[in-house]
Each structure stands twice: as structure tokens, then as C-alpha cells.
């Protein structure tokens, strides 16, 4: 499984791998459900971020278990999808964007592996892997190549004032799940890239904006875009070179210690 690529699917993606083997992977942080199979010509490990049937709220996603499970299966690269709301006309609804920056507005989430005994400090100026982002930009030329994403706590959506504050701060898109997922991946030695689908205009551009966010609108836009999302994932996944190595942002000794933690059964 040395060349397996991880795929973390967001809302509405459902099961990505037909006929794959679904595993309940035990980790030091609890269980994670992963389906191992193929997408195109590449073996993948698919993890539904919100569980089967969208049963896990954004602030309850066990990101530490999810990333540890993928690392235990040999994953070195993760392609994730995320539903996002747009704060700017440059990111129209139903378009793709490739995130390059994150603003973490979450709280109370287990957001690091290095919080007791073994302490490391992750350099995180560039959250996403430059190699994977370059590959993704080449494979998805119609996607916006850069976007700053604010990750809010959820599960509620933003107020108009919150949207305005984020827009004034230079944020482009709003999401609920990319933090702490991307940082945890980096801590455990996995490179990431995120395909963002713009589903709405967050709190809306006016009182009667038809693209103002509702759960129903998000689910509908994701369902309509599912073939495009799957095709985008497949293009990126199959472009990851067999000899891909993620950035060494944490020393190898600490990463090895994380991966050697005893699992909870």
C-alpha cells in the first residue's frame, strides 16, 4: 500500500469507492471508518468526514482518529473536498477553488497530537502541500488557484456581521471542517490539498439573495456537482507521483512516536 492516496470526502460525497473493503480502523483516539479500493488507476483510502449518512456534526469530527487511521494504512498524500460559502464575487457559486490559506475560527476541538508529554510546534505558514497544489492547479485549470478559507465552528452558519468581518479581513471562503484536519495531517507526516466547491454566498449579499446559505441549498448543490467532484478527485489522485514524499514539517522521531502509539480497541 506504499502508493495509496487518502481521500477525505465532505458533505454529500457519499461512498466514493464502489466494491471497496470498508474497515473499522482502531486508533489511539477512537475508531475511524475507511474504505480501501481504487479510483481510476490508483489505490485509495476513502474516509467520509461526516460519517455514513452525514451523522457527525462539524465540531464533532474526530480528525485525530481520521488522520492517524489514514497514516496507519500508508497514506502520504490526502486529497480532500470541502463545501464552502463565498464572500467575494470572484468565487461564484458552483465553482471550484484550491485553498492555499486557512484562518482558524474554531474552538474546543482536539487540534494537535502534541499536547501531552511529546511536544512539537508545527510550522504552518503554508498549510497545504506545494507539490500537491501545483499538481491540482495543472489538473483543474478552471479552479481558482488560491483562496483563503476561514474555518468556523459550526454547525450554525454565519451571521451577516460575521461574514462582513471575515470579508473585511481578507477572507475569501467559509468552511467548517478544514481545521484542525489539515494541521493534524501535517503533524503526522501527510501532505494535503483541498478542493473547495462553492455552494452559497454565506450570509448572502442582500436580503433576497437566492444563494444565501441554507443546509438544503448546500446539499442540493453538492448533489448536483457530485460527478464533477468525483472527476476532479480522480484527476488529482492519479496525478500524484509514486515517489511522492510530503514535507518533513515535524522531525521523524516525533512522527514515528505518534504512529507507534497504542490503539484503543
User: Is 18 one of the annotated active-site residues of the chain?
Assistant: no
C-alpha cell at 120: 512539537
Cα gap 233→9, rounded to integer Å: 10
125 class by beta-carbon count within 10 Å (0-12 exposed, 13-18 middle, 19+ buried): exposed
The residue length of the chain stands at 265
Phi, psi (rounded to 5 degrees) for 226: -55, -45
Q: How far is CA 72 from the centre of its chain?
A: 18
User: Among the options 18, 202, 211, 251, which is catalytic?
Assistant: 202
User: Among the options 100, 200, 211, 243, which is catalytic?
Assistant: 200
Find where cell 455552494 sits: 199
Give CA angle at 182 (40, 6), nearest 5°: 20
CA distances from 143 to 71, 130, 138, 208 (A): 28, 16, 10, 28
User: Is 202 one of the annotated active-site residues of the chain?
Assistant: yes
Is there a contact between 181 and 66 (Cβ–Cβ < 8 Å)?
A: yes
DSSP 2: T
Active site residues: 200, 202
Amino acid at each position: 500500500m506504499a502508493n495509496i492516496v487518502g481521500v477525505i470526502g465532505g458533505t454529500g460525497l457519499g461512498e466514493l469507492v464502489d466494491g471497496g473493503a470498508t474497515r473499522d480502523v482502531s486508533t489511539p483516539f477512537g475508531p475511524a471508518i475507511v474504505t480501501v479500493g481504487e479510483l481510476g488507476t490508483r489505490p485509495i483510502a476513502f474516509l467520509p468526514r461526516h460519517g455514513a449518512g452525514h451523522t457527525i456534526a462539524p465540531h464533532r469530527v474526530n480528525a485525530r482518529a481520521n488522520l492517524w487511521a489514514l497514516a496507519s494504512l500508508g497514506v502520504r498524500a490526502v486529497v480532500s473536498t470541502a463545501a464552502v460559502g463565498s464572500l467575494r464575487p470572484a468565487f461564484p457559486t458552483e465553482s471550484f477553488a484550491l485553498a492555499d490559506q486557512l484562518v482558524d475560527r474554531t474552538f474546543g476541538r482536539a487540534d494537535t497530537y502534541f499536547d501531552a508529554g511529546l511536544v512539537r510546534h508545527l510550522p504552518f505558514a503554508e498549510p497545504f502541500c506545494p507539490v500537491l497544489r501545483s499538481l491540482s492547479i495543472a489538473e483543474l485549470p478552471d479552479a481558482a488557484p488560491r483562496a483563503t478559507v476561514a474555518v468556523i465552528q459550526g454547525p450554525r452558519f454565519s451571521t451577516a456581521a460575521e461574514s462582513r468581518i471575515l470579508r473585511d479581513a481578507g477572507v475569501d471562503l467559509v468552511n467548517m471542517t478544514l481545521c484542525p484536519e489539515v494541521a493534524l495531517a501535517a503533524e503526522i507526516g501527510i501532505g494535503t490539498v483541498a478542493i473547495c466547491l462553492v455552494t452559497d454566498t454565506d450570509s448572502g449579499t442582500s436580503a433576497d439573495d437566492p444563494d444565501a446559505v441554507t443546509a438544503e441549498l448546500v446539499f442540493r448543490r453538492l448533489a448536483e456537482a457530485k460527478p464533477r467532484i468525483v472527476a476532479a478527485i480522480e484527476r488529482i489522485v492519479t496525478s500524484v507521483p509514486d515517489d511522492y514524499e510530503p514535507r518533513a514539517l515535524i522531525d521523524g522521531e516525533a512522527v514515528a512516536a505518534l504512529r507507534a502509539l497504542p490503539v484503543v480497541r
